A and B are shown apart, each in its own frame.
Chain A
Amino acid sequence: MKKLINDPSDVVAEALRGMEAAHGDLIRVNHDPAYIVRADAPVAGKVAIVSGGGSGHEPMHGGFVGRGMLDAACPGAVFTSPTPDQMQAATTAVDGGAGVLHIVKNYTGDVVNFEMAAELAEAEGASVRQVVIDDDVAVKDSLYTAGRRGVGATVLAEKICGGAAERGDDLDGVVALCERVNANARSMGMALTSCTVPHAGEPTFTLGEDEMEIGIGIHGEPGRERMPLEPADRIVARLLDPIMEDMPLGDGDEALLFVNGMGGTPLIELYIAYRRAAELLGERGVRVTRSLVGPWMTALEMAGASVTVLKLDAELTELWDAPVVTPALRRGA
């Protein structure tokens, strides 16, 4: 293992110190229990949005805390869900009296811990709603799985719901919007390499020089299928086809295309993938009117990418364009 770290058990705590030092104008960091809130929290009368999950996916979620996006983020240990006490404390810290939305990625750990946190926070008088994001078409949504994983749509939902909360939508409205984003977004990812969780010290799985793993999540877990490496255009089709099968888009539909890097794949390769994905959508008559390209939701140093397609309407587009001021995403303000 070769990493720019000190003691593996200090990784998350030291990274939080770094975020605090670098972005003190935008965020405040509480260290025990660990959570990040926007500098001006709580914002009176505004619906607050809290998310969280294992660390190792930076900039998600802590990098998305700030005006126009999240009010708070709870970082867990690397690839491990945070705990209810963190979430409860974060919820209380950002509750501005208009209710709190928990945006939760569909992993058993995250869902169960957030459920317990909501029970604790409600016992103290907070009004909490939970929306579970489950956009990963690599996982069959059936009785035989824990359901689809939450991946790329999470970033889009946090941005769009953040915009809605900022313009004054009430809790029901923000919840409905979050569900709409989830219902209209699909993702699929692939890996060229695995990644090494600091305390584990060795890669979670190993891929040969000429192999790739299709249908991975964001935790270095193996995917559905291992196959010989192919050129980028073929890989993009393998990611996009199941998305389009699951959520047929066609003539005249507008979409946001999000090509996400897993941490170890350079932007130049992500643009190669974006180009092909946009071409394929264009061939089906889909108009790609908004885009996001980059390592926004990573799996440590894993090489690979995921594709997310969000079907847009006028309101989603407007909220996507709304100003946002966070450590990672900052525009229009």
Chain B
Amino acid sequence: MSVGVAVTTADVVGFVERYAAVVAEHRQRLTKLDAAIGDGDHGENLDRGFRATVPKLAEVADGTPADVLKTVATTLIAKVGGAAGPLYGTAFLRAGSAVAGRVELDETAVVAALDAALEGLKARGKADVGDKTMIDAWTPAVAAAHAALDGGKDLPAILAGAAAAAETGRDETIPLVARKGRASYLGERSAGHVDPGATSSALLFGALRCEDKG
């Protein structure tokens, strides 16, 4: 790999814009998934947050990647509500802190940001693998990113591996009985449905993968 693959502020802005568009496109689908085992607001919540986020990105276009991530975090925390707002907000906040001050991010920095994001999700939501939450998409995704980094892969390969693992993790939530969040109120009846937060997380890693450069 070469120096050419480093992630710039513009790349991070591009990722957030892509994810915002994906969330808008999948708003109803996410909300339907949440209606089945939650309260039918997940797509609406995320869409509200990202619609508020995109106009703010111009303000940090001259800043660092961390500035962008922090702006996303504070906007999500202020606009989303629900469980997903503080969870995704904390993830972006921790990812930003992990790469604070850097102008460009290499592979190691990107994986460190993903690590920090997952740690933030776990600290905020106190959920673990198997609880049928977004953690079930994030955990294999971050593990796959680590494996690819350790294997000397370049950034597109790292992110492609993470995205594929997130999708697998999402699908693996289907048979699970929820132990966290609203879906846990359903007990056994939550099995047989995919988790909405794991689905929106897989979409996030999908948007990240399009970060192909070089």
Contact = CB atoms under 8 A, between A and B. Distances in A.
A33 B78 CA distance: 9
Interface in A111-134: 112-113, 115-116
Contacts of A83: 77-81, 85
B87 interface: yes
Nearest to B42: A80
Interface stretch (A172-180, A215-223, A262-270, A323-331): A215-223
B45 interface: yes
A78 B82 CA distance: 10
Contacts of A224: 185-187, 189
B107 interface: no
Main secondary structure of the interface of B (DSSP, over half): helix
B85 A109 contact: yes
Interface in A284-328: none
Nearest to A215: B185
A296 B114 CA distance: 44
B41 A79 contact: yes
A77 B41 contact: yes
A184 interface: no
Interface stretch (A65-73, A156-164, A198-206, A246-254): A198-206
Contacts of A205: 35
A109 B82 contact: yes
Given A144-B179, A144-B184, A80 B189 contact: no
A143 interface: yes
B40 interface: yes
Nearest to A136: B185
Interface string A224-253: 100000000000000000000000000000
A83 B77 CA distance: 7
Interface residues of B, number: 32
B44 A200 contact: yes
Given A108-B181, A200-B35, A200-B40, A85 B86 contact: no
Interface string B85-100: 1110000000000000
B177 interface: yes
B48 interface: yes
A83 to B, nearest CB: 5
B154 interface: no
A221 B86 contact: no
B40 A220 contact: yes
A143 B81 contact: no
Given A109-B82, A116-B77, A79 B39 contact: yes
Contacts of A140: 187
Contact of B81 (A77, A139, A146, A149): A77
A143 B130 CA distance: 13
Contacts of B181: 108, 146
Contacts of B14: none
B77 A84 contact: yes
A62 interface: no
Nearest to B133: A108
Contacts of A199: 44
Given A83-B79, A84-B78, A200 B31 contact: yes
B125 interface: yes
Interface of B: 31, 35, 38-41, 44-45, 48, 77-87, 124-125, 177, 179-182, 184-187, 189
Given A77-B45, A79-B39, 7 more contacts: A83-B85, A109-B82, A112-B125, A115-B86, A146-B179, A149-B185, A220-B39
